[in-house]
Structure 1
Amino acid sequence: MSEKNFIDYIRVFCHSGKGGRGITHFMRTKFNAKAGPDGGDGGRGGHVILRGNKQLWTLLHLRYFKNVVADDGENGMKNNCTGRFGKDVIIEVPLGTIARDEETGEIEAEILEDGQEVIWLRGGRGGQGNQHFATPTNQVPEHSQPGEEGVEGYKLLELKVLADVGLVGFPNAGKSTLLSVVSAAKPKIANYAFTTLIPNLGMVPYRDGRSFCMADLPGIIEGASEGKGLGHRFLRHIERNAVLLFLIPADSEDHAKEFAVLYNELEQFNPELLQKDMLIAISKSDMLDEELKREIAKELPEKLPHIFISSVTGFGIVELKDLLWAKLNMTQSE
């Protein structure tokens, strides 16, 4: 998918339908001109509904669909007939989409499953016809209700990529190369910063036909939590990953500092990210001997497991899969 086709944040104006008006009407028969009230209820206004679609990976299809307006309900009719409901508008979104109100920032819906439907904006209720207001003392009610107004406002749709493992690292740390080796994904790879401008997903095959999903996320730089580099635009995708794999290249000038910067940016963006399972992988390790590996290991946090890998030679890749699978199973069992 090209960068211009990946849209993960969009603003839309939504308006649910107005409820139909209940009517005032009296039944007239051949032998009774005052047979009683028979005014029907108004129909409900159309809802605005979000539906999950696992075939979608972006919000691109909504770029030119900025005004979402559901139909109004029809007015009630005689003979106690209810008016037709307004037609609902269904917005299909990729899994991992969050819907917010622009003014309050409140999360109003979250789509995580294929086919899941959530009524985002409810249509107005139809008004009651005069049949409902007949009493023993008022058998000829002249009153009926108008329909309720629909709901309107500017709304935000935000996509957070769903993946089991998220690759976290500086630009050019080897994340895309690793993903291309362990899965069938073909991310763009080049020897310059910010090669990856959109999240790339790949299914990683494991033993006995099992697999898990890995996401190559655009590189983080110092200050990303404040909006530098690609900033908040892609940090939010990390919130969906069950396990975070920190990728630090073997040729880094300071491995401990590089990890500390990455860790700090996650903490500044959302402290809850630090509760996730974490693993450190030292990439490009084919250039290291055993003595250098021991020296680098001393720099890394003692509480976090680490592994040396090389995407070029395949060194440590099988062991990395084993570690990730164990982490994922431990996370899911909890």
Structure 2
Amino acid sequence: MFLDEKSIEVRSGKGGDGICSFHREKFVPLGGPDGGDGGRGGHVILQVNEQYSTLLDMGNARLYKARPGQAGGAKRCTGKSAEDLIVDVPKGTIVKDAEGRILADLTEDGQRWIAARGGKGGMGNQHFATPANQAPRKCTPGEAGEKRELFLELKLMADVGLVGFPNAGKSSLVNKISSGRPKVGDYPFTTLEPVLGIVQMNGHSFVVADIPGLLEGASEGKGLGHQFLKHIERTHTLLFVIDGYADNAYEQFSVLKGELAAFHPKLAKKPYVIALNKSDLGIDNAIKEFAGYKEHVIVTSAVTGEGCKELQQALDAAVPHVQKKKVGWESKKVVEAKTMKAADKTKAKAARKEAAKPAKSAAKTTAKKAPAKKK
């Protein structure tokens, strides 16, 4: 389980001002007060959007500001209230204030929470008339909106776990294909704890976890092996990052598969993709060694970007929640097909009725021509 975080500022709309106005028309030169009230300012509302899977789906905006309400009008007209500003968030978002107190836990599809309430509209002078003061000139301004600093937190399950030996280029690859920014250096054990990257593809996203480099013997606990392997256990798809420039490229893959199987047999059966990394250095021998794994292998370079797009697409196809979304799109097509089928049935029914009309009219004509029976 990992955390995705985002800080935002929300500002609700100011209430519209009440106005000072008096009724005036022909033959009524001294009418009473008729100043209307101001409209309510817009709320800022956080709403769960089932299509969002990470906070990155919200975009880069940090300030969310609702519009103010309109001022009141003459003839006791109330100003129009502003529309609420709806801010979509992914399911499971926890909202905290600046002190870290939990304000809301948004766990249901379509669930709403008012993050900042719009200011109330001011009062027009119609409310201040008294027997002693029948022409008041007093009115009140609209209330100010709320302004809050909020922290959004989302617990993420990583969809893809990167597996590889230290210095295989995993962190550089995560930098290239996702929004993750792990520490990168030309020495082993640069990544000391799991780092998340979020890959955006075709209107959806999935989460990649850069697991610290494994050592041979990790299944026995060597080099914090158990701790790292537990992170991998929670992912659905594995991405083996192999140093293709090294002499033992295929051996790396064999050892990694063996360590996973030794820790838990299910790990070795997970769907996987192999990234033969460092193609910019020349890895022809490694490519030949992996000829038998052609459908799983993507040749990549975190330096030049070679194969990174293809790698994103391969992972996109392997991640289950993306497949579910595609099923969702297919279900829409099924609904459309059913609708078309129903329409075709209606047309066919109408055609049958139309075809039956001449037969009925012919029967009536025959009945008319038939001689009447003599009494």
TM-score (norm 1): 0.51
Q: Does 1:229 align with 2:202?
A: no
Q: Does 1:109 align with 2:104?
A: yes
In the TM superposition, what whole-angstrom CA distance separates every residue of 1:82-131 from its partner, at most 9, and x where no partner exists?
A: 111123211100001122222x2222232111111111101111101111
Q: Give the C-alpha shift of residue 80 in structure 1.
A: 0.7
Match of 1:119 in 2: 114
Task: Give 1:100's aligned amino acid.
Answer: K
Task: Give 1:123's aligned amino acid.
Answer: G
Mark the CA change 1:134 to 1:92 in structure 2 (over 3 Å): closer, same or farther. same
Match of 1:139 in 2: 134
Give 3-state SS (helix, strand or coil) of 2:268's partner. coil
Gaps of at least 5 residues in structure 2 are 176-191, 198-215, 231-257, 271-375
CA contact (8 A) 1:7 1:60 kept: no
Give 3-state SS (helix, strand or coil) of 2:126's partner. helix
Match of 1:129 in 2: 124
C-alpha distance in 2 between matches for 1:285 and 1:59: 31
Q: Does 1:76 align with 2:72?
A: yes
Mark the CA change 1:37 to 1:64 in structure 2 (over 3 Å): closer, same or farther. same
Q: Does 1:190 align with 2:154?
A: no
Mark the CA change 1:232 to 1:311 in structure 2 (over 3 Å): closer, same or farther. closer
C-alpha distance in 1 between matches for 2:162 and 2:227: 25
C-alpha distance in 2 between matches for 1:232 and 1:82: 51
C-alpha distance in 2 between matches for 1:285 and 1:261: 11
C-alpha distance in 2 between matches for 1:232 and 1:101: 24
C-alpha distance in 2 between matches for 1:313 and 1:13: 45
Query: Which of 45, 49, 52 matches 2:45?
Result: 49
Give 3-state SS (helix, strand or coil) of 1:8's partner. strand
C-alpha distance in 2 between matches for 1:287 and 1:8: 31
Mark the CA change 1:262 to 1:125 in structure 2 (over 3 Å): closer, same or farther. farther
Match of 1:40 in 2: 36
Task: Give 1:190's aligned amino acid.
Answer: V
Q: Give the C-alpha shift of residue 284 in structure 1.
A: 6.5
Mark the CA change 1:50 to 1:26 in structure 2 (over 3 Å): closer, same or farther. same
Match of 1:11 in 2: 7
Q: Does 1:28 align with 2:24?
A: yes
C-alpha distance in 2 between matches for 1:287 and 1:90: 49
Q: Give the C-alpha shift of residue 157 in structure 1.
A: 1.6
Match of 2:147 in 1: 152
Larger radius of gyration: 2
C-alpha distance in 2 between matches for 1:136 and 1:77: 24
Match of 1:291 in 2: none
Q: Higher helix share goes to which structure? A: 2
C-alpha distance in 2 between matches for 1:313 and 1:159: 29
C-alpha distance in 2 between matches for 1:286 and 1:65: 44
CA contact (8 A) 2:71 2:79 kept: yes
Give 3-state SS (helix, strand or coil) of 1:160's partner. strand
Mark the CA change 1:76 to 1:287 in structure 2 (over 3 Å): closer, same or farther. closer
CA contact (8 A) 1:7 1:58 kept: no
Sequence identity, in percent? 40
Mark the CA change 1:262 to 1:123 in structure 2 (over 3 Å): closer, same or farther. farther
Mark the CA change 1:114 to 1:124 in structure 2 (over 3 Å): closer, same or farther. same
C-alpha distance in 1 between matches for 2:161 and 2:110: 32
Q: Give the C-alpha shift of residue 25 in structure 1.
A: 0.8
Aligned runs of 1:158-169 on 2, under 5 Å?
A: 158-161=153-156
Q: Give the C-alpha shift of residue 138 in structure 1.
A: 2.4
Task: Give 1:253's aligned amino acid.
Answer: E
CA contact (8 A) 1:284 1:309 kept: no
Q: Give the C-alpha shift of residue 133 in structure 1.
A: 1.6
Q: Give the C-alpha shift of residue 261 in structure 1.
A: 11
C-alpha distance in 1 between matches for 2:124 and 2:43: 22
C-alpha distance in 2 between matches for 1:140 and 1:262: 79
Aligned runs of 1:213-224 on 2, under 5 Å?
A: none
Q: Give the C-alpha shift of residue 44 in structure 1.
A: 0.8
CA contact (8 A) 1:41 1:80 kept: yes
C-alpha distance in 2 between matches for 1:20 and 1:72: 7
TM-score (norm 2): 0.46
Aligned runs of 1:245-256 on 2, under 5 Å?
A: 252-253=219-220
Q: Give the C-alpha shift of residue 60 in structure 1.
A: 1.4
